[in-house]
Amino acid sequence: MAFTLTLPTPSLFFSRLSNSKSTVSCSFSSHSVKCGREYTSVMIVPTGIGAAIGGYAGDALPVARALSSVVDCLISHPNVLNAAMLYWPIPNALYVEGYALDRFAEGLWALQPVHQNRVGLVLDAGIEEELRVRQLQVADAARASLGLPIVECIVTDTPLKVEKWVDPETGQSTGRIKHPDSLLRAVHALVIRAKVNAIAVVGRFPDDDTDDIDDYRQGMGIDLLAGVEAVISHLVVKEFQIPCAHAPAMSPLPMSLSLSPKSAAEEIGYTFLPCVLAGLSNAPQYLVMDSRSLEKGCILASDVDSVILPKDACGGDASLAFSRNKNKKPLIITVEENETVLDDTADKLGLEVLHVSNYWEAIGVIAAHKAGIDPFSLRRDKILNIGCSSFTSVNGHTILRERVVS
């Protein structure tokens, strides 16, 4: 039986392996010959949206570590890679601030990997003396014990006056600083005077009532600090186009005898600064896309092979840009288990994605995709008989006819 139909859409899983920025690695041993393009994956968990995994104190870091073991290059952002007092170095991971990640995904910026950055530290003038000393001690410890290149510290000329709240429409945390110009002046001074090319910012956050953050400490609800932290780092990155991350300064909370492991990293020290300094020490630099970007061995959006994100957080700039990339669209994977307060699903936005139940499945799909294997071939009865089509001429017009073999 023959009938007329349109050409079938190529499988989502067989993305083109060739592009102008491909990095080819070849190695030879007595056992194998390996020649192929490096596989790059982006892991996104937006900040301040109460993500079940990644909405707390570095609780998405184990996922990033596992994912990094099956890809050649992992690109992620501070919300995934920071864990307050804890940090885990991942040699093949790139620490990219959220605003920069959006511009990268849109093809406007390129990422230039580095061996080392000169990190400057900005402290809010509103931080009390004891808390300020604690931040400086962290910087000294990072320099002496980890060898990190933190070259100078500056205090803002005016208290930043951090304000935070929950957006009533989306349910995510957000906020502002009342004196952004003071922060920008401090960063500019470090860039000009100390020649820094990465910035750590510590802002004095208002102390919360224990009742206000009890849900968060129990591994529920949203991170009330995270939204305005993103506002602060976005401001610096947009203005100076260099890596930036933020750590809040707050008075220590009373000890809790009932504390979720997901939030515990923020309870074991006086500051949240260690992970920020470690991440910024070798974060990639951001270059505006031009011919120079192509010449310097930078990573481009077209190099990305797969993107993994929560199932209901598909509406961000980076997610939309990757999903709508006309030149080379990566495999987009959404994770059902990682629920958030948002409702920006792929179905609602009309995006072509692969839904998986959890990060175990997502990493398995990426491993298959990297190997050039249709992930459905690893599932029971998911590969059906292939259709056979041919072109015939009817009244001078070419028509595609498909014959299905049963």
Residues 170 and 250 placed together within one structural domain of the fold: yes
For the stretch 58-78, pLDDT in tens is 999 999 999 999 999 999 999
Residues 144 and 228 placed together within one structural domain of the fold: yes
Name which residue leads in pLDDT, 29 or 178: 178
Q: Kind of pairing, strands 173-177 and 162-166?
A: antiparallel
Residues 208 and 90 placed together within one structural domain of the fold: no
Give the residue numbers spanning the domain of 342: 40-110+290-378
State the Cα–Cα distance between residues 65 and 59, nearest whole angstrom: 11
The pLDDT of residue 106 is 95
Residues 257 and 323 placed together within one structural domain of the fold: no
State the Cα–Cα distance between residues 345 and 16, nearest whole angstrom: 26
- Here the tokens at position 312 are 């209901």
Are 245 and 78 a contacting pair, CB within 8 Å? yes
pLDDT (average), residues 149-158: 97
Q: Mean pLDDT score of the chain, rounded to an integer? A: 87
Coil/strand/helix, residue 133: helix
The residue to which tokens 């190695």 are assigned: 27
DSSP string, 148-215: --EEEEEE-SS---EEEEE-TTT--EEEEES-HHHHHHHHHHHHHHS--SEEEEEEEPPPPPGGGGHH
Residues 197 and 254 placed together within one structural domain of the fold: yes
State the Cα–Cα distance between residues 275 and 89, nearest whole angstrom: 10
Residues 274 and 298 placed together within one structural domain of the fold: no
Looking at the predicted structure, is the pLDDT value of residue 15 above 50? Answer: no
Spatial CA neighbour of 87 closest among 243, 359, 269: 269
Domain boundary at 286, 320, 341, which?
286
Looking at the predicted structure, is the pLDDT value of residue 24 above 60? Answer: no
**Distance (Å) of CA 163 to CA 129, 190, 244:** 21, 25, 20
- Here the tokens at position 157 are 């000329």
Q: Output the pTM of the full model.
A: 0.86
- Here the tokens at position 162 are 């951090």
Looking at the predicted structure, is the pLDDT value of residue 336 above 90? Answer: yes
Query: Would residue 406 count as lying in a domain?
Result: no
Residues 149 and 264 placed together within one structural domain of the fold: yes
Query: Would residue 338 count as lying in a domain?
Result: yes
Domain count, the chain: 2
Residues 227 and 134 placed together within one structural domain of the fold: yes
- Here the tokens at position 206 are 């208002």
Query: Would residue 405 count as lying in a domain?
Result: no
Q: Give percent above pLDDT 70 in the chain.
A: 85
State the Cα–Cα distance between residues 279 and 200, nearest whole angstrom: 10
What is the pLDDT confidence band of residue 12, given thresholds at 50, 70 and 90?
very low
- One-letter identity of residue 216: Y
Residues 123 and 105 placed together within one structural domain of the fold: no
Residues 124 and 243 placed together within one structural domain of the fold: yes
Helix (H) or strand (E) holding 111: strand 109-112
- Here the tokens at position 69 are 């073991």
- Here the tokens at position 131 are 């808390």
The pLDDT of residue 11 is 42
Are 248 and 271 a contacting pair, CB within 8 Å? no
State the Cα–Cα distance between residues 127 and 133, nearest whole angstrom: 10
pLDDT (average), residues 132-153: 96
Residues 159 and 242 placed together within one structural domain of the fold: yes
Looking at the predicted structure, is the pLDDT value of residue 310 above 70? Answer: yes
Looking at the predicted structure, is the pLDDT value of residue 190 above 90? Answer: yes
Residues 223 and 356 placed together within one structural domain of the fold: no
Query: Would residue 334 count as lying in a domain?
Result: yes
**Strand extents, DSSP E, 289-359:** 304-310, 331-335, 354-356
DSSP 9: P
Q: Which residues contact 359 (CB under 8 A, 6 or more apart)?
A: 53, 63, 66, 67, 308, 335, 337, 338
CATH number at residue 147: 3.40.50
Looking at the predicted structure, is the pLDDT value of residue 231 above 80? Answer: yes
